[in-house]
Structure formats: structure tokens, C-alpha cells
Chains A and B, each alone.
Chain A
């Protein structure tokens, strides 16, 4: 341990390690230490959100264009930002019951924007390209091997059958019944793969924390006391 670690880093690692252990203590059972850590997390995250939004969004997008235009490469004040600014400020009317109907205006604005955008997005990102990609060569020729062709056919049939399962306007009997039953099988494989991936993801998160505790805290800061590290 030749190099010395800066004090604020030592302190930081200790704080982080103790908080990590505080959260893990929940696994044994719920307890006050866990609750303090949990409530601190909520407060700190909310505060973080406010600060970053203020410093990286509100200041350069709303305040500087009015008060310090040169800082954001404007020749003069841009008074147009007052319109969305005022609209945004109406959100605060939520805190005054008599006027809280005014908060509907900015909400209506954002809802209109996102709903209007959702329509072309669904068509251009999902419906058309995804449909197109489902129609792949199902006959082995040229670069398409028979295995590839078979897989493509499986994909095509799978999409159709899954859609049949979601088609609720007719009773699932006869051909539709068979198709929807096959559709369920495809959905189950998809959910199974999803579960496998979920296990993978959750375990990775734990590994991240355990590696922090072991490498950054225990081996770096604690073990040297015992002559190890």
C-alpha cells in the first residue's frame, strides 16, 4: 500500500460501504437502519433530480437566454422562451387548490405533444419495419441455408400465431384455436428467455455491489489494518 488514498475518498468509500450494508440488512429483516437508508435514498435522489434539472436544463434553456444570452451563443435576449416558461410555471398552481385547474394547461401541452408523436412513431418504428422484417426468405437459396430458411419460417408462423392469440374478436376455436395455442407456446418461450435474462441482470447487480464491498472497501481500507491487503 505505497500510494496514499485521498481522505475524501477514504471517507466516501466508508460511507458507501456502510450504506450498502444498511440496505443489505433488509435481507435478514426490516429494521430501522434499513429504513433510514431507504428514506435517505428517496430524499437524495429527488434533490439530485432538482439540482441537475435546474443547472443543466432550466439555466441554459430558460434563464440564460433571457439574462445572459452571450453564455448560450445568442446575440440578444430571446423573449420567446417566456411562453413555455410561463406555461411551465403554471405547474406550480397545483399547490394552490383554488387555481390548480391552471396546471392542466402545461399537462395538456405535453400530452398533446407526446400523443401526436406516438402515432407516427408507432407506424414508423414498430408496425412497418417490424412487419417487413417478418417477411424473410423461407426457401433455401443462395446465402440462405436450409436452417436459416426454416428459422425464418418459424419466425413468420410464430408472429402470426402470437397475433392470433391476441385476437379477441372471435372465439378461439378451430384453426384460430390451434394457432392461438401455438401462439401461447411462442409467448412462453419469449417469457422464459426473458426470465433467464432477468436472472442474469439481477445477479449482475449483486455482483457489482459485492465487488465494491470486497475490492474497494474490505481489501483496500479494512484488510490493511490486519496486515493484509
Chain B
């Protein structure tokens, strides 16, 4: 029972969603709209899983005095504070919640990701080697795209010369051509593979062959 019911739910809902796309009938239409509304509601609760495991991890760290546990207090306090000011006092522009979003969350998130600029530069220096034909193609394509997207870099390199201006005028076209033809060809091969893979996986889930997502027994572990 504990497994049969979820498997039956997945099978029925999955079958319905796959079939309704191809059968435009009024009954299907009404159920389709209702089902979409249900997904939007059930989906909201999925957040519970993520937040739950986040809080559990940090709470465990504090309780067991694991390494760096005081930082976990920062996480939990920030989480609770955000919830209180947002649920208690509104979330529109002009509220404290919005101020925290703009002045704490935005800079932290954006800066965290901007660190990647430094790491990608360092990686380019250390690992980007013209070791083989393949690697050389990769390198050349990367450089052409980097210059083609910001052709003014070519004016900086070649100065106010005929070569500089010629490259400045034409490199964007070369870069667009690389994006439009060889890149699309390579990516499209991948897209076909991914699409077939997605269909196969979806069928396995609907038919109950793939059930790892239901492995939630035993304290929530996978």
C-alpha cells in the first residue's frame, strides 16, 4: 500500500498529462485546467522539503557543536528574521522585507556569483591548452566569440589602424556565424539526445520502473 498508491498516482496523472496534449476534448480540457491549479498548490509545499532539510542540517550542526557551528546560528537567525518581517509586515516595495532583499540578499547573491569571474580567468590561464586538434578548435572558437561579442577589444589591441577597424567591423559576423551554424549543429545533436533521454525517463517514471523519487522512507533520506 505504501508504495502502490504513489505508483498509481504517478501512473494516472502521468498518463493523463501525456494523452491530453493530443486529445482536445472538453472533459479533458476541464480536468486539465483543474490539474494545473492543483500542481500550483501542491508545488508550493515542495518548498517545505528544501527548507526542512536546510534547517535540519544547520540545527544538527549547532546541537552537536560541529566545526564552524556558530555560523549555522547566523543562517537560522537570518531565516527566521526574514520570515517574521515578511509574513508579519508585508513584502511590497517600501517595506523592511524589501529593504533587506535589496540591500542584503541582492549584494550577497550577486557578489557570490561574480567571484566566478576570477575563477574562470584563473582556469583559462591554467587549463586552456591547445593540446590537440579538438582542444585547439575549442580554444579558437572561444577566442573568436569573446572578441566578436566585444569587438572594441580589437580596436584596443590593434589601435586606430585599418586592421583594427576591419576586425572591429567583421569579427561580430564571424562570431555570429559560429554561434548560428557549427554551434547549433553540435548543440542540436545534444538536444536530440536529451529529448530522447527525457522521454525514456518519463516513461520509466510513469510505468513505475524508476522509483528512486519515492525512496523517501526511513527519516526522509533518499
A residues touching B (Cβ–Cβ < 8 Å)? 8, 11-13, 15-17, 19-20, 23-24, 26-27, 35-55, 57-58, 61-62, 80-81, 83-85, 87-89, 91-92, 94-95, 97, 100-101, 103-113, 115-124, 126-127, 130-131, 134, 151, 154-159, 161-163, 165-166, 183-200, 202-203, 205-206, 208-209, 212
Contacts and interface: CB of A to CB of B under 8 A. Distances in A.
B12 A188 contact: no
B182 A105 contact: no
A213 to B, nearest CB: 9
A52 B145 contact: no
Contacts, number: 407
Nearest to B182: A189
Given A184-B134, A192-B142, A165 B105 contact: no
Interface centre among B6, B105, B189, B199 (most CB of A within 10 A): B189
Interface string B102-124: 11111111111111111011001
Given A12-B99, A47-B83, A41 B146 contact: no
A43 B186 contact: no
Contacts of B80: 47
A205 B108 contact: no
B41 interface: yes
Interface residues of B, number: 126
Contact of A190 (B43, B105, B140, B182): B182
Contacts of A122: 195-196, 198-199, 202
Given A158-B186, A202-B116, A40 B75 contact: yes
Contact of A80 (B34, B46, B144, B145): B34
Interface of B: 2-3, 5-7, 9-18, 21-22, 34-35, 37-52, 54, 68, 71-72, 74-83, 86-87, 91, 97, 99-118, 120-121, 124, 128, 133-135, 137-146, 149-150, 177-196, 198-199, 201-203, 205-206, 213-214, 216-220
Contacts of A162: 185-186, 188-190
B99 A195 contact: no
Contacts of B138: 188-189, 191-192, 195
